[in-house]
Amino acid sequence: VQLQASGGGLVQAGGSLRLSCVASGFSGFTLENYAIGWLRQAPGYGVEREGILCTSGSGGPTYYAESVKGRFTITRDNGENTVFLQMDSLKPEDTADYYCSLGRTCSDYHLANSFREFDYWGRGTQVTVSS
């Protein structure tokens, strides 16, 4: 399975961006059966990755980190094997490289552990929020 995140860029504080994560894989692969987690890593040496949202497969629950709750939303287009991360009311502290990852299920545990146990990871897309 391959994941590709895109849609990053430079935006002013208070603005919005929409990131996409496209998944592709083996014949018959469908994103509907999998969870997608979004995580980010702010610039700087030794900065830990932060899990921010997770959307479950098959209509299961979505999990949000407190840092993005009320500002970021996640939607899926299973027919296109794509997950969208809508980011509104952006703040300078949202500046980071954003990654998507694919796993079997979402939970608070997976979110808190930045999806370390997920199976696949994509290359990131950079988001810069200016003050």
Residue-wise pLDDT for 37-95, tens only, equals 999 999 988 889 999 999 998 778 999 999 999 999 999 998 899 999 999 999 999 99
Q: What is the C-alpha to C-alpha distance for residues 124 and 97, in angstroms, rounded to an integer?
A: 6
Q: Could you tell me the pLDDT band of residue 97, with boundaries at 50, 70 and 90? A: very high
- Checking 62-68 for CB contacts under 8 A at 24+ apart, the result is 62/106, 63/106, 63/107, 63/108, 63/110, 63/111, 64/111, 65/111, 67/93, 68/94
- Is 120:3 a contact under the CB 8 Å cutoff? yes
Residue 28: phi, psi to the nearest 5?
90, 0
